[in-house]
Chains A and B, each alone.
Chain A
Amino acid sequence: MSHVSAVVRPPLVTGGKSYHDITEDVCRQVEGKPTTSWKIVFAISSLVLAVGTVSVFWTWWDGLGNWGLNKTVGWAWDITNFVWWVGIGHAGTLISAILLLFRQKWRTSVNRAAEAMTIFAVICAASFILMHAGRAWLAYWCIPIPNTYGSLWVNFNSPLVWDVFAISTYFSVSCLFWYAGLIPDLATIRDRAKSKVSKYIYGLLSMGWNGNTKTWARYEYVSLILAGISTPLVLSVHTIVSFDFATSVIPGWHTTIFPPYFVAGAIFSGFAMVNNLLLIVRWTFKLQDYITIEHIETMNKIITVTGSIVGIAYITEFFIAAYSGVSYEQYAFINRATGPYWWAYWAMMTCNVVTPQLFWIRSIRRSITWTFALAVVVNIGMWFERFVIIVTSLHRDYIPSSWAMFSPTLIDIGDYVFTFGLFFVLFLLFAKYLPVINMAEVKAVMKSSSERFPYKVKPSSKKPGQHVTE
């Protein structure tokens, strides 16, 4: 009945799991009491969040003078962190939307956690928008609502206004996509629940789902269309983020390569973060049969591809600066590589272009230690990419007398720390109280891609390596 993958493909669900095993394995940590290790990590994350909250409070109480910004470098860590977090979020949508359109079955075991990561990363990014607004309580000024200035509207010509629409649409549609996908699994937990409280809560959240035929049929169309519209949406989000820079006339920012380069970089860093999180999740929740080495290897391949795209983009930028004949543009790039921020530039080059190439070696691609380490390195590199683009393009402007350097203050660091605390607190809550693997979707690919059901494939009807639809 269903699409059968080539027999040469390694199984996506190992360990001979049955449908019921999936339910048991995924629900176990939702139904059990929080483990000690979870409590410890949660306590640490909450502490980090608390410390960061003091910093954010101080940012708003005292104003942005608390940051290390100066007249020349007017954007630094705030926007660096914002772009970094938004970029990380992109992997989740890529897995849930683009890979759904490409019918990649391996996405089923990783999409739930990756989408959760997307949502939390976008929340962290949005907190930098509110922080750098300085007066967060006036943030509603970016929304076009009638006002007492004779209805002076927002300027729709500005990429910053597009960003408001892009990020808020991205956030709300991602939440909706995630929630719609959660409903069947929440119903599973509801039907297994023993206590009255969890029966009530999961019952409320699962909205009376019972898995009837018509609902599933419509559900599949809804997922497909959500994937179809989320694909251009996610590409538009980082494109518009890159427009924040690309539509300005600052040398080093004013480049047409930015949209594809930013999108590739976003997927690159996002997959690195997904790998980091999933390696921890599969280990703590014993989900090695669902998030297999195959999954990790596949993600490492995507990291290699996108890392190489980013590398080509760096080189292209240099070439175009030279080719343009504009001395300011040329200076901006030579200054990046050899100026006072040379270390940031070469950190970026090493972490993003050089080290991910190690993934060409199969044993490294399939090594958990290497994957974890290189994923951290990628995220450091991607943070430096944004720092390099933003700060080194600004710090030496047209008048040498206004040249300046940027150094972060404690509050700058504290605000960044805040988002880490927020991210991990949210992710830990998700990992404890919601199913980290999309049970329904994994069950749906069991017949084609698990160890348990090889006998379903009639060997007479197909040759190895052939795709057959029964």
Chain B
Amino acid sequence: MDTNKRFLVGVYDDDDEVMAAVKTVRASGIKIHDVYTPFPVHGLDKAIGHPRTRIPMVAFMFGTLGLITMFVFTLYTMRLDWPMNIGGKDYYALPDFIPPMFEFTVLFTAFGMVFTFFITNGLWWGNKAVIFDLRSTDDKFVMAIDTASNQKSEAEIEKALRETGAIEINVKEIVEEED
């Protein structure tokens, strides 16, 4: 179901300021919808209260899958399906298969992790970006606050944004699919 959501959008022009603002605003009991920045601001995810990402675990699992896939594949092709006598050596000459196993580990890790990253963050070709302020991919740091989900009044939120150094405060209505 589509609903029209009303947001108060605070625009900051410095990464350190928005960082401090997030901490102050959260401490004053206002729930922040999200912060949009033109580049990664270290520690912002922690300040906003996101748990640590589990993407390294995903990467590790895909890597392991790649390793096992190539191990099984070389075992099947070189030992089980069509064993070849090459200079009387072992059919399954493990050291020789380490390079392809390594390459598959890297290949699976990279593609598995990046596509997990795409999917979990709603990135896909054709997806429309939810933009609160067009300058948030240029030089502005944008804090969006969902007014409906907050106990505090709009005036209080606006005051908090202004006190933490927002140079502009705008109202933005976004048609968002309920999740």
Contacts and interface: CB of A to CB of B under 8 A. Distances in A.
A166 B114 contact: no
A214 interface: yes
A20 B16 contact: no
Majority SS at the chain A contact face = helix
Residue of A173, A217, A439 contacting most chain B CB atoms (<10 Å) = A217
A23 to B, nearest CB: 5
A215 B137 CA distance: 13
B104 interface: yes
B122 interface: yes
B97 to A, nearest CB: 5
B88 interface: no
Nearest to B110: A173
A213 B50 CA distance: 9
A1 B43 contact: yes
B93 interface: yes
Contacts of B104: 165, 169
A84 to B, nearest CB: 22
B127 A208 contact: yes
Interface stretch (A156-164, A395-403, A460-468): A156-164
Interface string A423-454: 00000000000000001110110010000000
B53 A221 contact: yes
Contacts of A355: none
A225 interface: yes
Interface residues of A, number: 70
A188 B38 contact: yes
Interface in B124-162: 124-132, 134-139
Interface stretch (A5-13, A61-69, A145-153, A290-298): A145-153
Given A216-B44, A219-B40, A225-B109, A153 B129 contact: no
Interface of B: 15-16, 19, 34-45, 48, 50, 53, 55-56, 59, 63, 73-74, 77-78, 81-82, 84, 86, 93, 96-97, 99-100, 102-107, 109-111, 113-114, 117-118, 120-132, 134-139
28 contacts: A1-B15, A1-B43, A19-B38, A22-B139, A23-B138, A151-B81, A153-B77, A155-B84, A165-B103, A165-B104, A169-B103, A172-B110, A173-B107, A177-B110, A180-B114, A207-B123, A208-B127, A209-B123, A210-B130, A210-B136, A214-B50, A219-B40, A222-B55, A225-B55, A229-B59, A230-B110, A232-B102, A243-B99
Q: Which 7 A-B pairs have the closest CB atoms?
A: A208-B127, A19-B139, A217-B45, A153-B77, A162-B99, A20-B139, A207-B123
